[in-house]
Structure 1
Amino acid sequence: MSKDITDEDQCRFVSSRGILKSTKTHVAEPKSSMRKIPWEFAKRLNSRAEVIYLTPEMLPTFAKYHLWRIRTPFTLVTGDSDWGVNERDLTPALLNKLLNNRYLDHWFAQNLDHQHAKLTAIPIGLDYHTLSHADGKTTGHDWGNRVAPLRQEQEICQIHAAAGPIDQKKTQAFSNWHFAADRGDRQQCLSEFPAETAFYQSTFLTRRESWQLNASFAFTISPLGNGLDCHRTWEALLLGSIPVVKSSPLDSLYQDLPVVILDEWSDFTTERMHYELERASHNTYDFSRLHLSYWLDVIAKRQPAVAERMTIDAFRQQTAAYGRELEKKHGSEQSA
Structure 2
Amino acid sequence: MALRGPRHFRGAAKVKDICFHHDPRSGQLCSDSACSKQHIDTLTQDAAERFDRAWRAWQTRESKAKESGLQKPNAPEKSMPAVCSSMPLTSDLPEPPGLFEVPWYYDERWHQRAMSAGMISSCTFLAHSSLWSCMPRLRRYREIHPVQRPVFATQLGRRCGELLHLAPHPAVICVEKPYLGGFVEGFAQTVTGEFILVVVNGGDAPVTVDQQSIIGKLPGLEACFAMNLHKAVDARFVPLPIGLPHHCDGLHRGNLRAASEAESLIQQCRAKATPWNLRSQRLLVTPMQANRLRERYLERLSSPEFGALVRVVTTRLDFAGFLALMAEHQTVLSPPGRGHDCYRTWQALAVGTVPLVVADPCFDDRLYTNAGLPTIPGPEELTPELLAPLLQQGYYMGHLSRSGALVLRGIGLTAGIALKKWRKKGEIDCGLVLLTGQRLDSRLRSVESIGQMVDSMMLVQILSGGRYTPNEQASSYDHEAVIATLTEQRKELLGEVEDSQPCGRPLEGVGGQLLSM
TM-score range relative to shorter protein? 0.7 to 0.9
Task: Give the superposition deviation at 1:259.
Answer: 2.6
| Equivalent in the alignment of 1:51 | 172
| Equivalent in the alignment of 2:365 | 251
Q: What amino acid sits opposite 1:181 in the alignment?
A: A
SS of 1:261's equivalent in the other structure is coil
| Equivalent in the alignment of 1:118 | 236
Instruction: Please identify, of 104-113 and 41-50, the stretch whose mean Cα deviation from structure 2 is larger.
Output: 41-50
**Structure 2 vs 1, CA of residues 273 and 230 (structure 1 numbering), >3 Å: closer, same or farther?**
same
Q: What amino acid sits opposite 1:307 in the alignment?
A: L
**Structure 2 vs 1, CA of residues 278 and 158 (structure 1 numbering), >3 Å: closer, same or farther?**
same
Inter-partner Cα distance in structure 2 for 1:174 and 1:254? 19
Task: Give the superposition deviation at 1:299.
Answer: 5.5
SS of 1:153's equivalent in the other structure is helix
**Structure 2 vs 1, CA of residues 38 and 11 (structure 1 numbering), >3 Å: closer, same or farther?**
farther
- In the alignment, which of 224, 235, 238 is matched to residue 347 of structure 2? 235
Instruction: Note the alpha carbon deviations across 1:116-162, whole angstroms, 9 max, x for none.
Output: 222111111122x213553345xxxxxxx555341210111111221
**Structure 2 vs 1, CA of residues 104 and 257 (structure 1 numbering), >3 Å: closer, same or farther?**
closer
Inter-partner Cα distance in structure 1 for 2:270 and 2:194? 42
Instruction: Note the alpha carbon deviations across 1:96-131, whole angstroms, 9 max, x for none.
Output: 32212232221111111131222111111122x213
| Equivalent in the alignment of 1:318 | none
- In the alignment, which of 325, 331, 336 is matched to residue 219 of structure 1? 331
Q: What amino acid sits opposite 2:368 in the alignment?
A: Y
| Equivalent in the alignment of 1:66 | 187
CA RMSD of aligned residues (A): 3.6
**Structure 2 vs 1, CA of residues 33 and 230 (structure 1 numbering), >3 Å: closer, same or farther?**
farther
Task: Give the superposition deviation at 1:223.
Answer: 0.4
The answer on whether the counterparts of 1:221 and 1:243 sit within 8 Å (CA) in structure 2 is: yes
In the alignment, structure 1 segments of 5+ residues that lack a partner are: 138-144, 315-336
- In the alignment, which of 137, 140, 159 is matched to residue 30 of structure 1? 137
Inter-partner Cα distance in structure 1 for 2:140 and 2:231? 20
| Equivalent in the alignment of 1:97 | 214
Task: Give the superposition deviation at 1:24.
Answer: 0.5
In the alignment, structure 2 segments of 5+ residues that lack a partner are: 1-55, 57-80, 82-108, 142-148, 423-428, 437-489, 498-517
Q: What amino acid sits opposite 1:25 in the alignment?
A: L
SS of 1:107's equivalent in the other structure is strand
Inter-partner Cα distance in structure 2 for 1:289 and 1:136? 24
1:80 paired with 2:201, answer: yes
| Equivalent in the alignment of 1:186 | 294
Aligned pairs, how many? Answer: 297
Inter-partner Cα distance in structure 2 for 1:293 and 1:240? 16
1:276 paired with 2:388, answer: no
With a CA cutoff of 8 Å and minimum separation of 6, indicate the structure with the bigger relative contact order.
1
**Structure 2 vs 1, CA of residues 223 and 18 (structure 1 numbering), >3 Å: closer, same or farther?**
same
Instruction: Note the alpha carbon deviations across 1:272-308, whole angstroms, 9 max, x for none.
Output: 2552244223579893784423699835649578734
Q: Which has the larger radius of gyration?
A: 2
- In the alignment, which of 291, 294, 315 is matched to residue 203 of structure 1? 315
The answer on whether the counterparts of 1:132 and 1:146 sit within 8 Å (CA) in structure 2 is: no
1:307 paired with 2:435, answer: yes
The answer on whether the counterparts of 1:75 and 1:107 sit within 8 Å (CA) in structure 2 is: yes
TM-score (norm 1): 0.74
Report sequence identity in percent.
Answer: 21
Instruction: Note the alpha carbon deviations across 1:170-215, whole angstroms, 9 max, x for none.
Output: 222222344x2126x3123223447423322232121111221221
Structural mapping, 1:145-156, within 5 Å: 146=256, 148-156=258-266
Instruction: Note the alpha carbon deviations across 1:213-233, whole angstroms, 9 max, x for none.
Output: 221122111000111111110
Task: Give the superposition deviation at 1:28.
Answer: 5.3
**Structure 2 vs 1, CA of residues 30 and 124 (structure 1 numbering), >3 Å: closer, same or farther?**
same
**Structure 2 vs 1, CA of residues 261 and 61 (structure 1 numbering), >3 Å: closer, same or farther?**
same
Task: Give the superposition deviation at 1:238.
Answer: 1.2
Task: Give the superposition deviation at 1:33.
Answer: 7.7
SS of 1:52's equivalent in the other structure is strand
TM-score (norm 2): 0.50
The answer on whether the counterparts of 2:138 and 2:176 sit within 8 Å (CA) in structure 1 is: no
SS of 2:284's equivalent in the other structure is strand
| Equivalent in the alignment of 1:167 | 277
SS of 2:223's equivalent in the other structure is strand
**Structure 2 vs 1, CA of residues 121 and 222 (structure 1 numbering), >3 Å: closer, same or farther?**
same
Q: What amino acid sits opposite 2:274 in the alignment?
A: G
SS of 1:217's equivalent in the other structure is coil
